[in-house]
Amino acid sequence: MEFEPGSFRDRTGRVFYRGQNVCRALTAPALAEWEALRGKAFLARGMAEGRIVATGRAGPEVQLPDDPGSDWAAVLTHERVPFISYPYEWCFGMLRDAALLQLELLAAALAEGMTLKDATPYNVQWIGCRPVFIDLLSFRRWQPGEPWVGYRQFCELFLYPLLLEAYKGVPFQPWLRGRIDGIPPRDFLRLLSPRDLLRRGVLTHVYLHARSQGAWKAPARDVRGDLAAAGFHKELILANVRNLTKLVRGLALPRRESVWSGYGEEPGYRPEDREAKEGFVREAVAGQRWERVWDLGANTGEYSRIAAGNADCVVALEADRDAVERLYEAGRREGSRNVLPLVCDLADPSPNQGWRGLERKDLAERGRPDLILCLALIHHLVIGANLRLGDFLDWLAGLSPFLVIEFVARQDPRVRGLLANRDAELYADYDLPGFEAGLAARFEILRRREIADGRRILYFARSRQA
Amino acid sequence: MLYLDPSSGSMMLQIILGGLAGAAVAFKLFFRRVRAFFGKAEAAGPESAETPDGV
């Protein structure tokens, strides 16, 4: 048993796993902060509302990982989040709501004499479409005169990515995936035009912030001490938090055309085809209780919802950000607790990255599925993204014991559209006999059903590797 | 127990972001700097206590 390799930045604590439990070892100073935090009303309220992860002190029976020379004083246990996700996989609305949770908790903590010592979206996770704050070690007692230490981090990892998308129409996910610490103030300022300075929040949080980064270069000057002596008080932080809350709450996505102009509607589908497809998925899902379902190419999550009826957790992966946005908005309204929508291009999925390539993990390492739904997707990957059909089936067979897959035949209008400007003979392997042979070599086919006049074929299959 | 460098600039900026309440802090900070410039000892800390006030 070892510590979680991604948990190292804050030296006063470290995460490890014991069975189904997520544990956190604390040093003596961190334990003192936990003792201060434990009785606060906002903590009890946050845990009761599911906005702070349920946490308690572990008994002495929890054994620590072998760690010579360390002096851990206590262990906390946290409720496990069903599937860990990263901000570069979230849609705009998710990053915005995570930012609002961060601000809300900071204000609540300050009201009771505590503060948050960082402000990173990696401290927020999701239970379905509800954000939950997971890093209890971020709370510490507020020292009189202390400013908001996490303000710059909040800008770099929450505010600038949101402004980038809201003001410039540029998706933030590749930027957050590209740099683990987010967008520095000066880099972000360079992306803005003079006209943008008039937009809400830009003059202060971007322009002045970027300018301020070089302004106090005097080495080892105790700015925190200076501020404390000048009477900096928490009302200043609260004013800033209120201002940021208003700013973030008012941010919206610019209108844009999505790849899927008519959500959930596919050409050549009659209502009876749709019903047949739904019935097929329902029947496959009903076979057993699933721990984790991955819905690949989830679109707006119609089939994720069906799977959710018989699964602890459904991870709905979709490359189209607008579709994820809709799925998230709907899930948020319904209070969904077991469908997690994520932005993911399966031809370019989240890699292992960060320090030693272990700090942030690829998808499979965070929880393999026991059932995969792969509906109306394979043509996008094999023709649209040029993946080899055999490679894709290999990947599926190694990933999950069970699979529901829909093959879209060459005569389907969607496939014809994808082939229209490509050399069709290059994709000669993309046909029904080839697909069925490839599938049968890797999976035992349990059920098969043709819909849409045989242009679409559904399979429920069990991997031969399982 | 801070592992994050809050950045001096980001801390100072918070005086401006604090609105009206920040103005008093800014004034006090400025006043302290001016006093320091004219050789008045800053609020007694361990360092200033040990430094002989020869100016």
- Give residue A219's pLDDT: 63
Cβ partners under 8 Å of residue A423, min gap 6: none
Give the pairing of strands A21-26 and A55-57: unpaired
| Span A159-211, pLDDT tens digits | 999 999 999 999 999 999 999 999 999 999 999 999 999 999 999 999 999 99
pLDDT for residue B51 is more than 50: no
Tell me the pLDDT of chain A averaged across its residues. Answer: 93
- Rounded distance, CA A78 to CA A238, Å? 29
Please state, in angstroms and rounded to a whole number, the distance separating the CA atoms of residues A60 and A56: 13
User: How distant is the Cα of A240 from the closest Cα of chain B, in angstroms?
Assistant: 6
Q: How many residues does chain B have?
A: 55
Chain B residues near residue A150 by CB distance under 8 angstroms: 4, 6
pLDDT at res. B26: 85
Q: Does A152 touch chain B (CB under 8 A)?
A: yes
* Residue A255: per-residue pLDDT: 75
Give the model's pLDDT for residue B46: 44
Between CA A253 and CA A217 the distance in angstroms is 37
Contact in structure between A301 and A316 (CB atoms under 8 Å): yes
Rounded to two decimals, the pTM is 0.92
Q: What digits encode the pLDDT tens for the residues B4-38?
A: 888 888 998 999 888 778 888 888 888 877 777 77
Adjacency order of strands within the sheet including A339-343: A339-343, A311-318, A290-296, A371-374, A402-408, A456-463, A443-451
Please report residues of A whose CB lies closer than 8 A to that of B42: 229
pLDDT digits (tens, 9 = 90+) for A246-268: 999 999 998 765 555 455 556 66
Nearest CA in chain A to B6: A149
The Cα A47–Cα A338 span in angstroms is: 18
pLDDT beyond 50 at B49: no
Distance CA A404, CA A410 (A): 20
pLDDT for res A263: 55
Q: Is the pLDDT of residue B48 over 70?
A: no
Q: Which residues of chain A have pLDDT under 70?
A: 1, 216-220, 256-268
Characterise B32 by phi-psi region: left (phi > 0), alpha (psi -120 to 50), beta (else).
alpha
pLDDT score recorded for residue A148 = 95
Distance between CA A112 and CA A375 in Å, rounded?
50
* Among candidate residues A294, A77, A254, the one with its CA nearest the CA of residue A168: A254
DSSP string, A20-33: TEEEEEE-HHHHHH
ipTM of the complex: 0.81
E strand or H helix at A379: helix A378-379
**DSSP assignment, residue A273?**
H
Cα dihedral value A47, A49, A51, A57, nearest 10:
10
pLDDT reported for residue B3: 82
> Looking at CA atoms only, how far is residue A119 from chain B in angstroms?
10
From A216, A217, A231, residue closest to B28, measured CB to CB: A231
Q: Please tell me the distance from the alpha carbon of residue A169 to that of residue A191, in angstroms, as a whole number.
A: 12
A34 three-state secondary structure: helix
Whose CA is closest to A87, among A346, A331, A298, A343? A343
For chain B, give the DSSP string.
---S---HHHHHHHHHHTTHHHHHHHHHHHHHHHHHHTTPPPS--HHHHHS----
Min Cα–Cα distance to chain A from B54, Å: 23
Confidence at residue A211, expressed as pLDDT on a 0 to 100 scale: 93
Chain B neighbors of A239, CB-CB under 8 A: 17-19, 21-22
The confidence band for B43, taking pLDDT boundaries of 50, 70 and 90, is very low
Question: Is B23's Cβ below 8 Å from some Cβ in A?
Answer: no
Q: What local confidence, expressed as pLDDT, does residue A193 receive? A: 96
Specify the pairing of strand A339-343 against strand A13-18.
unpaired
Res B29: pLDDT: 82
